[in-house]
Structures are given as structure tokens and as C-alpha cells.
Chains A and B, each alone.
Chain A
Amino acid sequence: MSNSEKTKKVLMYSIGNRIWHWAQALLIVMLLLTGFAMHFPESFAIFGFEWSVEAHRGLGILLVVIAALGLLYHLFSQKIRNFIPEPDDFITGAIKQMRYYLWGIFRGEQHPYQKTPEKKLNPIQKFTYLILLNVLLPLQILTGILMLGATQMPELFSYFGGLSVIAPIHTFLSYVFIAFLIVHIYMTTTGHRVFTLLIAMITGYEKMPVEEKNNDKKEETG
């Protein structure tokens, strides 16, 4: 990764991708902030309890809408395949990627998987998003909806154990989301340069090392 290394700019994220990502990011951060303002109303009194309740409800509904739209888009565009691990990813791919994160990255080795606009995720990322999007987010949304609808559907609410069961799960998952955010933000520094991935998610273009044999038509030499 020397300065003299040749790089190319690749359009990695479309405008739609970026809006979707940042909207989700903003909503999740706001949900975490308002959630914590409710959970620690005195030590984290940034908004006030009453406002936080209302905001949390509204933001939660918005997140569900955006997540649902995203799901539909990925389903109909068949881009959901990007998130589904391939057979090789399970063992060989995962070990290869894990080896890179735990060893190769420190030695300046190349990423084992070349990122392309069609294949943005490496095997570890696929597993992470598989769990995040199929377990954590739906569970968080489900527990949130149950609490939101405690008045409208009290029987269902009680069936799942009421607030004493649902609220701790919702709280625990929010901690996990924070942990994910910490790791997620850190992982943005593992691109070609520290801010390469972050800039890519803002501008859409990602700087990538040039491989002489396999030039992409979309590339612009930088």
C-alpha cells in the first residue's frame, strides 16, 4: 500500500445504496440515543423521557419502513444474492478471510477477496449481515412492534411475556447494535486507506489498487 501504488476509482455504491445506508445509519443512531435516554433517563438525559418515547416510536416505524423497502428492492433486483453466502464461503472462504483479518492485514497482504460493485461483501461480512439482517434486526423490530402495540394487541404482548421479557431482549439487542456499530465503523478503516471505505460510502467511488490483467470498463485511473 505504498503511495506510488496505482489505484483506480470504482463506482461501488449507487446513490440509492448510499441514501439507504445513511438513512438507516441515522435512524439507528437516533434510535439508540432516544432508547438510551429512556433507559437511563437521569444519567443520559439528553432529550427528556417524554420526547424520547415519542421520537423512538416514530423513528422505529420509519426504520421498519426503510428496512422493508430495502428488502423489497434487494429481492426484486436479485441483489439479495450478495448477502447470501456461497458454499465456498462457509469454510474455505471464512477461514481465508479470518486469516487475513488476524494475520495478513498486519503484514500488508492483499485482501483475499477482490471487492466489486456486484460482489461487495467478503464471506465474514456475509455471515455478519446474515445474522444482523435475519436475526438481530427482525428480533429488534419484532420486540419493538410488540411494545409499540402493547395497547392494541395486549394478548399478543402478554403471550410473549409482557414488558419484563420483551424489554430486556430489546435492550440487550440495542447493546449488540452498539457493539456492531463500533466494529462496523472500525472496519471502514481497513480499506485501501483509512478513509477509503468511508469516502466511498459518501461519494459512491472507492479507490482500489489497479490489477493490470483485469481492468474494468467502469474504472477511471487515479
Chain B
Amino acid sequence: MRKIKMYFPIIGIIISIMVILIFHGDVFTESKNEPGPDVDRVSLLDKEFLHPDIPLLDNNNENVITSGGLISTRNTCGGCHNYHVITDSFHAQQGRDEMDKKTLKEHDFPPYVMSTGMYGKWCTMPMRQLSPKGLKNPNDFDMGTPEWTKTCGTCHPGGGPSEYDQQGRRLDTVDPATVPFMHPDYSILKNGKVEKWDWRESGVMEMNCFLCHTPDFSRVERDTALRKGKFGEANTASLLPSKIVLRNEEGKLVYNPDAFDENGNVKMKMLKLQDPAAPNCGQCHGFTGNENEKIYPFLSKNVLRGTMKMGRIWKGSLVSKTKLNIADKEKKEYAWDVHAAKGIECIDCHFAINNPAKMIRNPKKMLHNPRISKYFSPYTKKILERLKKEEKEYLLDYLPVGRNELSHYLKNPDHNFAKGKSCPESVSDVLDYTMRRCIDCHNTSKTHEWLPYKDYHMSRVGCETCHIPKKDFWAFQTGDWSVPSLVGKQRPVPRGIKGTMKDIKKGKDVEITGFIPAFMERTEDNGEKHIMPYNLITVIYWYDKAEKRPLYRHQLLKTFTKKGADGKLKYTAETIAFLDSNKNGKLEGPEIKINTEERLKKAKEMLIRIGGAKEPVLHVEVVPFSINHNILTGEQALKDCSSCHSERSHLLTPIRLTNYIPAEGEPELLPYCAQEHNVEQKGLTYEHDGMFYYNPKKGLEGYYFIGQTRNDFAEILGWLSIVFALLGVVFHGGIRLLRSSRKKEEE
């Protein structure tokens, strides 16, 4: 017995260790990752680039400096960072992982929409639709994955649909002969015919890490490779400005030996790997750049989605310093965006969701869905669980970043970036409202004390409404697909410039006047409704009522145009005959519109006879693009009460939608956006001077703007009471006067 007692302390120690191991495993994990005494932290921080020199590997995992092959980011970056985690993100997938019927039904999309993201979602601006599987009639085929990669790929970082087919097979491992005819992943529409595409020849487009993680990239070189169908080359070509990759005399991509060290590793001072900076994001999301960079007004390869759709420019320099011909620019002594001017980067708000250095530790936002939280480290999860239990939302200041948490993130960087929610974006709803918002950094109780009824204003008016009262750039107003242009696209009409698209294309230095956004109501995640600024883009397009889908671009081109001897599109004689108002044998911009019953009838007849349409009708669709960038400082923001509280309220400025009224169709908000905005279609727009306008009085019907809003019932009844009182006084007083003067006469 005494012998057993001797072992008690030892047993106790063993049990204690086991308990700690079971319940507090992290304690040991943490200490295991502690840097050893040999790590010189100061010298690490002194290094220009934290990332070590690395070998660039090709598809066969061989160093490109010896093999001469094209760079495979899957092998190069994926060696340390989990490529699967990175590409399992909405930037890479573009909705490919949200093509199930349930998700689509939840969004209440029309039946021809195939996904929630840019891969498969119908968008009236490019007027292209990813074709579904199982088509029989080539007339129903519009766009396969190869063409999507060629054209849409310019704003798509790679991975996802341009690497794997919808069955999950790597595209360059499949023999196209083995797939059925018109399979969307292996077919392309060429000269009106559906042809097979061999990814084994084109290569696939892996996630292009360089596009976002290096400062010296070329989106244009990458785009050129994509449009040529050389998908495998795209990532390598994008490194041309870094001088790591060069183009030899034959035009082939080769590697610069000076960019590599003696071990075959690329020198980091050449590759310059970094966190994504604004110019990286700006490649697809809108203009960025330094003061000296000229912003080309239109159709330059640098003008991108965010700019065309919302007039977005992310620059810290003063508007007055730009080389653009901006109206009254000498008076515009303020930055394009105050956040850009303060050095804020896109990833500060739209951070990688499991980046411990940037994330908002909000358990309500981060833990509710396994899709988001699956890439969190156990340490992060534990913290979030604890905060959830304690019902705390923001405790960032008190939570040190664990080292194992950082290493987990570096190995598994979730590339689902925190985001808000705004129509028409519908991808990855589980990430809605995860981003850092205004109130996460700004304390309005300190900055907006001057504002009467501050809380009431804040509860009804979005920050952007006052801080983006106007845009100093242009954006799209209308896209007219009723008769396509001779470059096979919509005929666009911009807002915010003096002049036409033709002037811009000719290189004329048109004056940019900017525009006032359309103010609409938006329902937030907590059910609150706010007034927010939007750019409304109206698209006039043909819809086939019998087929229950839009008419495809190839049907329109076939109907109204033909290819000339020079290979360029020309309008057919029949098209010219019914649209040529001045009878000069040519079609000029203003003539091309379906604005009369006669033209409508003729166009429909042609679409049925030539284009293969069954029951074409004109649709006029309004897409609201949320404006959240180009924030102005308090000095430039709307501060004067009378800006909103007056008969000519800034917020109620009517917004022009089209420059003519089509013979058919009334403007309707994109159906799933209409739901989000909770607006009634009826009366949302009105006609004036032969154009369609958005009527903000209708769009903001539930809002009462003191100084502007009039309740007809109260006004009429109120004025009547005054009029009756006056009439009564005049009548009564008149008789009294009359009687009194008569009495005097009698006396």
C-alpha cells in the first residue's frame, strides 16, 4: 500500500498532463510554433520582401528556368499555400459552385440564369449567356466555357471554371472527342457554328496569383493571350513588366536568367510578392493609380467594370490634378477618394475572411455558416465561439493574433473576401455584410454632432448618400441592343460627359461633367432601410416570349448585319431600308432606334424570319449599380440642409434612363434587384421630352423630406381652411361695413 502511495504524485502529474493535452491542446500547439532563438526578428522586418525567394515551376513541377515551360501557379504557389482553399472562393469560382437549382430558386432568377456569379449569370450589358448542357438546336447555343474564358476571363483571375469542367475534371485532361456535341465546357461558337474546343492545346487558366500579388503585372498581355485562346500562357504573360519573363524575337515567352539566383529561385526583388494593393484590385474593379497616370475616358483596355458601371475611381490624388478634361476641375481641390488619399487599401475592408490581422472578430458574421468558417484556424474558432457565448461582437483590440493562427492562415488563405451586399451582385450570399463598414472605423457621435436629428438621419440615410453626392467621372446610362453596333456590341450612351460615345472613340477630348447618382432605398441585413446612391443602367434588348429567354447576340447579328469583304460587320440593305430616316443610304447613330410601331413590326418580322426568334418583344431593363466608392470628406459632403430639404432636393433629382422611348416596353427594375429594394415598379419611371426618367419621388415614396414632401390631403384641406376663414371674414366684415355705412347715412 505504501508503495502504491509513492506513485500517487507521478500518477497525478500524468493525469494532469493528459487533461491539459485534451482540453488545452492549443497551448502546446502555440508553444510548438514559437520562433526559436535563432530567428532574428529584426532582420526579418528589415527585409524589403518578407516572402522568400522561390522557384517558378511548370506543369510538370520542373523549374521553368531549366524547362522553359509555362508557369504553373498551382505548382509554384500551391507548394506552400493550399491551392484548393484559394480557388474555392467566389473570385475564382465566379458562381460555378452555385449552379444548383435550389440556390437559383432562392434568388428568384429567371430560368435561363445558370449561376449566381459572372459564370452563368445573364447580364444584359454583354448580352451573353452561358449555354446549358443538353442543347439540341445550335441556334440555342450562345457561349461555352472556352469563349467565356477568352472574353470574360479578362476580369476573372483564373482557377474555377477555366480550370475544371462542370463535372469536376481538369479541362486539359479531357479528350473533346469523348464529350457530347455542344457540351458547354468543350464547345465554342465560331462564325455562327458550334465547334469543339481542345483544352489540351489551349491549356487551362490556373488562378493567376501574380495578377493580385505583384506590383509589376500586365493585365493587357494576359488579356491578349486569353483572346488568342492561349489560356496556358496567360499567367506567364502577365509577368512581362516584371522583366522575369521576356518576349523573344519570335514572340515566344522566355525567362530572363538575371531574374533568378544560382539556385534557380526567382529573386524576390524582381517578383516583389506582396499583399494585393489597390492597383491590383483596380484592374477589374475600377481605375486606380498615381497622380501622373492619365485616365483614358473610354474603351481603353484600362477602363474597367467598376468605372463603366458606377464611375468608380480609386485614387488618392486631387481631382484638380488629373489630366482629364473635367468640368471646373480647378475648383475640385479634393481627392478622388478620401480613403485612397489616406492610404487605405481595398483589402483593409475587403479582407481575406480568415486573415487574423484584418478580420473583424464578429462571431455573428463569421461563425454562422460553415462555408465561411471552415478555413478558420482552431484558435480563431475558439475565440469566436467564446465571443459568441459572451454575446460580444467586436473585441479586436483585446485579442492578440496567435502565431499558429497566422501560420494556419498563410497555409490556408481563404480567398473569399469580406463583402457587403448590393444589387445586382448575387454571388456567395453567405459572405454578405462581412466586410468592414463605415461604422467599424468611424464614430459618428464625434464627427456628426452638428447634424440635427443625427440618429434619425443615420437610420434613414446611408453614409454614401451624403459622402458621394456626385460623381466626377462618367458611367454608362443606356445600353441599346435593339439593333447592335457594327462591332457586334450594344450601342452605349454614357452619362456625365458632354458629347457622344462616337466623339470619345474618335479621341476627342470631351468634357467630363460627372453625374448625380440615383437615390434609392436599400434594405440592410438588420432590416433597416437606407437611402443609397446608385447608377442606373438601362438596357434595351430583345426577349423571346415563346422561348422564355433573351434573344442571343448571334441571332441579332444574323438578323441585322452581315460580314463585308474586309471581314467587318455591315448593316444589311434591309436593315438600312427600314431605319434610314434621312434616306442617305447610311445608318447614323441617332437613326438606329426602334421607336415607332412601324419599325417595331419590321424588326420583329426580321428577327423571326432571319434570326430564328419565335415571339420577340422589346424589354427595357433597369439595373441599379450600388455606388460605394469615391467618398468625399466632410467638407465636400452634403452638409447644407437645403441640399435635401428644399423644393429642389438633391436626392429627388430625376435621373435620365434612355435618350429615346422604345416602341415597346416600359423600364422595369431587374427583378431580383426590385425585390431587394422593395420597390413597386408602377410609376417608378416616367416619360419626359421623349425620354425615360427614374422618378425618385416614387422610389423614395416612404420618405418624408421636410421642405420637399407634400401630403396632398393635408395641403388641400389646410389651404381650404385658410381660404374659408378669409372668405368668411371678407363676407362678414363686408356686410358689417355696408350696414354701418348705411346706418350712418340714415343718421
Contact = CB atoms under 8 A, between A and B. Distances in A.
Interface of A: 2, 38-43, 48-50, 53-54, 101, 105-108, 150-151, 154, 157, 162-164, 167-169, 171-172, 174-176, 178-180, 182-183, 186, 189
Contact of B739 (A40, A107, A176): A107
B728 interface: yes
Contacts of A107: 739
A50 B702 contact: no
B714 to A, nearest CB: 4
Contacts of A41: 642, 645-647, 707
B736 A172 contact: no
A162 B704 contact: yes
19 contacts: A41-B642, A42-B642, A42-B647, A49-B645, A50-B452, A50-B641, A53-B452, A53-B641, A54-B452, A105-B736, A167-B709, A172-B717, A175-B719, A175-B722, A176-B721, A178-B721, A182-B726, A183-B725, A186-B733
A151 B454 contact: yes
A65 to B, nearest CB: 21
B369 interface: no
Contact of A108 (B642, B725, B743): B743
A172 to B, nearest CB: 4
B725 A167 contact: no
B7 interface: no
Nearest to A172: B714
B729 A49 contact: no
Nearest to B707: A41
Contact of A154 (B455, B702, B724, B725): B455
Interface string B136-152: 00000000000000000
User: What 9 pairs between A and B have smallest CB-CB spacing?
Assistant: A175-B718, A168-B711, A179-B725, A163-B704, A168-B714, A172-B714, A179-B721, A151-B455, A182-B725
A169 to B, nearest CB: 7
Nearest to B648: A42
A50 B707 CA distance: 11
Contacts of B743: 108
B566 interface: no
Contact of A106 (B704, B711, B739): B739
B703 interface: yes
Nearest to A43: B647
Contacts of A50: 452, 641
B704 A174 contact: no
B453 A150 contact: yes
Given A168-B713, A172-B717, A154 B707 contact: no
Contact of B718 (A2, A176, A182): A176
B8 interface: no
B715 interface: yes
Contacts of B452: 50, 53-54
Contact of A40 (B453, B647, B721): B647
B456 interface: yes
B732 interface: yes
Contacts of B641: 49-50, 53
A178 B722 contact: yes
Contacts of A169: 714
A106 B734 CA distance: 10
Given A178-B725, A183-B729, 4 more contacts: A42-B647, A105-B736, A172-B711, A179-B721
B735 interface: yes
Interface in B695-747: 702-704, 706-707, 709, 711, 713-715, 717-719, 721-722, 724-726, 728-729, 732-733, 735-736, 739, 743, 747
B459 interface: yes
A164 B704 contact: yes
Interface string B639-652: 00110011110000
Contacts of B722: 175, 178-179, 182
Contact of B711 (A171, A176, A178, A179): A171
B721 A175 contact: yes
A179 B723 CA distance: 8
Contacts of A39: 706-707
Nearest to B647: A42
A183 B702 CA distance: 36
A106 B735 contact: yes
B678 to A, nearest CB: 15
Nearest to A164: B704
A131 B733 CA distance: 24
Nearest to A173: B718
A175 B713 CA distance: 12
A47 to B, nearest CB: 12
A172 B721 CA distance: 9
Interface string B437-470: 0000000000000001111100100000000000
B732 A38 contact: no
Given A38-B707, A182-B722, A183-B728, A171 B715 contact: yes
Contact of A163 (B706, B725, B728): B706
A109 to B, nearest CB: 11
Contacts of B735: 106
Contact of A167 (B702, B704, B729): B704
Nearest to B639: A50
B527 to A, nearest CB: 12
A167 B726 contact: no
B70 to A, nearest CB: 61
Given A108-B743, A163-B706, A172 B718 contact: yes
A183 B427 CA distance: 65
A182 B733 CA distance: 12
Nearest to A101: B732
Nearest to A51: B641
Contacts of A176: 718, 721
A40 B452 CA distance: 19
Contacts of A162: 704
A124 to B, nearest CB: 13
Given A182-B725, A182-B726, A171 B647 contact: no
Residue from B645, B718, B726, B743 whose CB has the most chain A CB atoms within 10 Å: B718
A38 B718 CA distance: 16
Contacts of B702: 164
A100 B290 CA distance: 85
B741 to A, nearest CB: 12
A101 B474 CA distance: 68
A169 B721 CA distance: 14
B576 to A, nearest CB: 51
A105 B734 CA distance: 12
B733 A171 contact: no
A79 B454 CA distance: 43
A33 to B, nearest CB: 15
Nearest to A57: B452
Given A50-B641, A150-B453, A174 B718 contact: yes
A178 B722 CA distance: 7
B49 to A, nearest CB: 51
Contacts of A38: 645, 706-707
A180 B721 CA distance: 9
B459 A154 contact: yes
Contacts of B732: 101, 186
A162 B703 CA distance: 9
A126 to B, nearest CB: 19
Nearest to B717: A172
Contacts of A178: 721-722, 725
A163 B701 CA distance: 12
A183 B730 CA distance: 10
B707 A151 contact: no
A155 B657 CA distance: 38
B702 to A, nearest CB: 6
